[in-house]
Structure 1
Amino acid sequence: MLTNCASQMQYFAEQTPSLSVTRIELFVIPALAVDASGHRVCLRLTSNLGIGWSELFASDTEDTIDLDRWSDLLQSFIGSIPLPPLDHFQYDKTDQDGRILDLFATAALQVLAHSADSSSHKTNLEESVLRQRSVSYVSLD
C-alpha cells in the first residue's frame, strides 16, 4: 500500500506543470517624461516556453533599488520552477522584495499566456534598445 502511494506521488510530481527559466535580465532606465523623476525597471525572463516581460516605475522619492538584493532573490528562480505555487505566491507588493517578486511573477504569467506567439526578432530588437538606454543592467543565467 505504501509503495502504491509513493508511485502516485512520483506520478503527480512528474505531471506538475513547470517553467524552466534560463535567464532573467533587469534593465533600469531613466523615466522619459519631462515631469517624471524616477526609473523604469524592466524584467525580461527567458524560458523554455518563450520570453516574458514586465516593468515597474520607481520614483526618485522611494528608497533606492538594491540590485544586489534583487539579483539574489531572482537567482533562486533560475532553473525549473513549479507553476501552481507561483499562482499562490504570498508577498507584500509594497516592499522592495515584494515588488521584484511581483515583477517576476508577472513576466512568468505573461510567458504562459503568450508562449505560442513570441517573436525572437522583435524581442532581440527590444533588448538592444533597452540595453542602450539602461543606466544599470543585470543578467542572471
Structure 2
Amino acid sequence: MKKTLIALLFGSILVLAACGGGDDNAGEDTGNNDAGTEQQADENGDTGTDNAGDEGTADEGEGNVDTQAAEKIAQNNCATCHGADLTGQGNSADLTTIGSQYSKDEIVEIIQNGKGGMPPVNISDEDANTVASWLATKKE
C-alpha cells in the first residue's frame, strides 16, 4: 500500500513538473514561446522586435529585411517545430531554402493560414511580414 501511494505521489510530481505547474514567468518574455502563440510584451509594451537604426537590415530584392527582428520572431514562434536552425524536425519543413520555393506573399499566407500539417501561427500581420520577407531571401 505504501509503495503504491509513494509511486502515485512521485508520478503526480513528475506530471506537474513536466507541465510547468504554475506561471512564475507571467509577463516575462522568456524567448521560448511555443509555435502559434503571440509574443508577450514586456512592462513597456515592447515585444522586442523593433531594432534601433538599420543594423541587421539588408536589401535582398524582397525589400528591406530586418534580419535581427525576423530571427527573433522565428525563434519565438517557429523554432519549436522547425528547429533553432530552421532545418526542420521530424515532419516539419526545412526553412533554410524556403525562399526558392515560395514568394514573400506565399510565405505570409502559409504563416497566417497554415499549410498541410502546419497550423496557422498566431502572430501579428507585421511580424508575419517581417519573417516572410526574411524567409523569402533564404534561397539555395
TM-score if structure 1 supplies the norm length? 0.29
| Larger relative strand fraction | 1
Higher RCO by CA contacts (8 Å cutoff, separation 6 or greater)? 1
Q: TM-score, normalised by structure 2?
A: 0.29
User: Which structure has the larger Rg?
Assistant: 2
